[in-house]
Amino acid sequence: MKINIREAKKEDCTRILELVRELAEYERAPKEVTVTLKEFEDAGFGDKPVWKGFVAEVNGKIEGFALYYIRFSTWKGSRLYLEDFYVTEPMRAKGIGKLLFETVIAEAKEKGFNGMSWQVLDWNEPAINFYNKYQSALEAGWLNAGLSKEQLEQFVVPKHNPVQIKK
């Protein structure tokens, strides 16, 4: 088995998106993946890329990926945020995840970030056990919050709002 970890390229996006959908199935949220291939490609390889990633190839086929972006914490400064990290089920427990994860750690270290963060579902014991091998801090007490695209579109800016957003 030949494993190759490398930076993701635009032509990898179709396969990465397939794996994103597999991950969503595993996380019991398959209908939550609404990003289009074009949107995904543009966000990673367009004029203003917002994500970067690594892929794990096994015998020439992408079997895993790690996708990250930079976030800024007013408390901690610039940090690498690992958005998604996934290895296909048949390829787990073969060291591929370790290689991918350690590549991301090396990237964070090389770029001088003040840390690295990610989320893990509280029921995902295999992932929690994996992260515990790295002595990761699992934080309790934080809830995820957000607004969907539809909610943003439905929002009406109050007339009394002094903020004028210029396009």
Q: What is the CATH number of the domain that holds 30?
A: 3.40.630.30
Task: Pick the closest to residue 121 from 112, 133, 109, 130 (CA basis).
Answer: 130
- Answer yes or no: is 107 within a domain: yes
Examine the residue annotation and report whether 131 is marked as an active-site residue of this protein: yes
- Answer yes or no: is 37 within a domain: yes
Interstrand relation of 116-118 and 77-87 (parallel, antiparallel or unpaired):
parallel
> What is the per-residue pLDDT for 158?
79
CB 67 within 8 A of CB 8: yes
**Residues 64-117 pLDDT 10s:** 999 999 999 999 999 999 999 999 999 999 999 999 999 999 999 999 999 999
- Answer yes or no: is 161 within a domain: no
Arithmetic mean of pLDDT over the chain? 93
Among the listed residues 68, 81, 86, 131, the single catalytic one is 131
When divided into structural domains, the chain yields a total of 1
CB 116 within 8 A of CB 104: yes
With a cut of 90, say whether residue 147 has pLDDT above it: no
- Answer yes or no: is 162 within a domain: no
Round to whole Å and give the CA distance between 47 and 39: 12
Q: Is the pTM of this model over 0.75?
A: yes
Span of 17-26, 39-48, 104-113, 145-154 with lowest mean pLDDT: 145-154
| Confidence class for position 53, pLDDT limits 50, 70, 90 | very high
The residue segments making up the domain with residue 48 are: 3-154
Span of 36-45, 59-68, 73-82, 155-164 with lowest mean pLDDT: 155-164
- Answer yes or no: is 41 within a domain: yes
Amino acid at site 10? K
- Answer yes or no: is 138 within a domain: yes
- Answer yes or no: is 163 within a domain: no
> What is the per-residue pLDDT for 139?
86
- Answer yes or no: is 109 within a domain: yes
